[in-house]
Amino acid sequence: MIIGPGGSGKSTLARAIAARTGLPVVHLDVLFWRADWEPAPVEQAVRDLAAAVADDRWIVDGNFLQRVGEDGRLDRADTVIFLDLPRRVCLWRVIVRLVRDRRRTRPDLPEGCREGFDPDGLRWIWNYPATERPSVLKLLAGAAERGAVVHHLRCRADVRRFIAGRGR
């Protein structure tokens, strides 16, 4: 399970781990959004996610933390990775992605969801340390208590070491 703010590199890390392990990747944005950024029916998205994590082997990329208790991913995850990168890094990556992928669909997004300027998304990233991070830290503590391996990666060097197999 990989969580973190937008622009932290969740999808990129998920693809890198999948390439090494052969594990299937479940991108939460694909489940929780429809074309033109219309929210998916929540019950359907939660059901689809629960079905995906019912298998023994998977990588889940994304947040939707309000659904953690409903979908079973945290209870079933043997490893949780929190990409807790600095706000400036995340914002910079989102701006680069915006320019690079302008009006294109990325493989970690549903068909019909094109990259575009999203003030609400930028605000979410800016506020993440105050609004989401405390909840994530509690989730990490709970996951560690139940025996999951937790990786709290705080900078790009941590992520590079993790990918290279020298993770913390």
Dihedral sign computed on CA atoms, order 121, 158, 152, 73: positive
pLDDT for res 98: 85
List of domains in the chain: 2-163 (3.40.50.300)
SS3 for 132-160, per residue? Answer: CHHHHHHHHHHHHHCCCEEEEECCHHHHH
Dihedral sign computed on CA atoms, order 33, 12, 128, 49: positive
pLDDT for res 123: 95
Residues of the chain where predicted confidence (pLDDT) is lower than 50: 168
Tokens of 110: 């549903």
pLDDT for res 12: 93
Q: Which residues contact 43 (CB under 8 A, 6 or more apart)?
A: none
pLDDT for res 69: 63
pLDDT for res 79: 95
Mean pLDDT for the chain? 89
Give the H/E segment covering residue 59. strand 59-61
Of 40, 43, 41, 19, give the one whose Cα is nearest residue 29.
40
**80 in Cβ contact with 17 (< 8 Å):** no
Tokens of 146: 């139940």
pLDDT for res 117: 80
**Cα gap 37→34, rounded to integer Å:** 6
pLDDT for res 67: 64
Of 77, 66, 65, 64, give the one whose Cα is nearest residue 33.
64
